[in-house]
């Protein structure tokens, strides 16, 4: 499996007790041990794939609404400047006044196949707080109003038209869109979660960060510690699922700071992703998009 580190996606450092154990500090793993670990990890991935096949979780996944694209979308006209783009990426977005509340409680997700699903609608104030969460110094965008409309988004069942809050921005003719309906609850995995670090060095895949236009590669955020050279993500493909099994490379002996780091890794697929579910071998759950 050809994988490579793409770029650091803003290091997320989370204090943990015993992170040296999690990072495998002092393991002194030999090449033979690494081969054994790889076989054990692939076996775990196969167990997860087999458990998913025909399960209640697979049925729930096929019937639910699970976004696989950004739920906050920039204006269609594009950003006027790099400063505005930076303000959006940092969440430096303020309101010129109080946003209205809504009496709408349900919205309909519509797929191209003709299938529909009703989902709860998020209040526009709560939607705003999900992307306008920083009001520090520097460039900023200003929301001047909001109304309910629609947008399209990639989901686990293909492209769907969904209700969206259309936030007017000062100086822009097209709105900032934010999906107004909540995703379905992730189904309970049919396989039991493996404890972190217990399955021959298996680590978690935190989230799906993107899918190539042709569906033949994924960008995922994998976790590792401060005493190694970074994550490695392998994949087991079946007709129904893409199971990712992650580990770390270059674990070193000695003192290790207590932190978990997320890093972008690109994973190549033999076949386009299409409507297959992406599963994490450690948790046995679908890998969420954007956390």
How confident is the model at residue 198, as a pLDDT? 52
pLDDT at residue 138, rounded to an integer: 83
**Six token digits for residue 181:** 């309906």
Q: What is the pLDDT of residues 37-82, one digit of tens each?
A: 788 899 999 999 999 999 999 999 999 999 998 999 999 999 999 9
Quote the CA–CA distance of 30 and 201 in Å, as a whole number: 13
What is the H or E stretch that residue 154 is in? strand 141-155
Confidence (pLDDT) at 58: 95
Q: Could you tell me the strand order of the sheet in which 205-211 lies?
A: 3-5, 261-268, 217-224, 205-211
**Which tokens sit at 277?**
């579910």
Q: What integer pLDDT is reported at residue 197 of this predicted model?
A: 53
Helix (H) or strand (E) holding 117: strand 116-120
**95: β partners:** 143
Instruction: Report the C-alpha gap between 227 and 162 in whole angstroms.
Output: 44
User: What is the model's pLDDT at position 18?
Assistant: 38
pLDDT band at 24 (very low <50, low <70, confident <90, very high): very low
Give tens-digit pLDDT for 87-97: 999 999 999 88
pLDDT for residue 109 is more than 80: yes
Dig out the tokens for 98 from the structure: 């109080």
For 161, residues 6+ apart whose C-beta sits below 8 A from its C-beta are 109, 110, 150, 151, 152
Q: Length of the chain in residues, anyone?
A: 291
Alpha-helix residue ranges (DSSP H) falling in the chain: 19-23, 31-52, 56-63, 82-90, 124-131
């Amino acid at each position: 499996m050809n994988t490579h580190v793409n770029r650091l996606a803003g290091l997320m450092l989370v204090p943990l007790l015993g992170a040296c154990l999690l990072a495998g500090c002092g393991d002194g793993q030999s090449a033979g041990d690494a081969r054994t670990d790889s076989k054990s990890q692939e076996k775990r991935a196969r167990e997860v794939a087999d458990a998913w096949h025909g399960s209640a979780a697979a049925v729930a996944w096929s019937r639910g609404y699970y976004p696989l694209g950004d739920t906050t979308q920039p204006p269609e006209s594009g950003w006027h400047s790099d400063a505005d783009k930076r303000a959006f990426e940092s969440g430096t977005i303020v309101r010129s006044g109080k946003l209205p509340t809504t009496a709408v409680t349900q919205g309909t997700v519509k797929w191209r196949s003709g299938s529909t699903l009703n989902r709860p609608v998020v209040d526009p104030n709560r939607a705003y707080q999900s992307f306008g969460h920083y009001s520090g110094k520097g460039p900023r965008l200003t929301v001047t109003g909001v109304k309910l409309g629609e947008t399209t988004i990639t989901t686990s069942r293909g492209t769907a038209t969904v209700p969206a809050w259309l936030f007017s921005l000062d100086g822009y003719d097209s709105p900032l869109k934010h999906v107004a309906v909540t995703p379905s609850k992730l189904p309970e995995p049919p396989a039991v979660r493996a404890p972190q670090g217990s399955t021959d060095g298996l680590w978690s895949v935190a989230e799906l960060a993107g899918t190539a236009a042709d569906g033949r590669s994924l960008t995922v955020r994998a976790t590792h510690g401060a005493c190694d050279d970074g994550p490695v993500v392998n994949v087991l493909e079946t007709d129904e699922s893409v199971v990712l099994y992650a580990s770390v490379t270059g674990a070193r002996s000695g003192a290790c700071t207590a932190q978990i780091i997320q890093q972008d890794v690109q994973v190549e697929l033999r076949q386009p992703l299409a409507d297959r579910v992406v599963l994490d071998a450690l948790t046995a759950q679908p890998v969420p998009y954007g956390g």
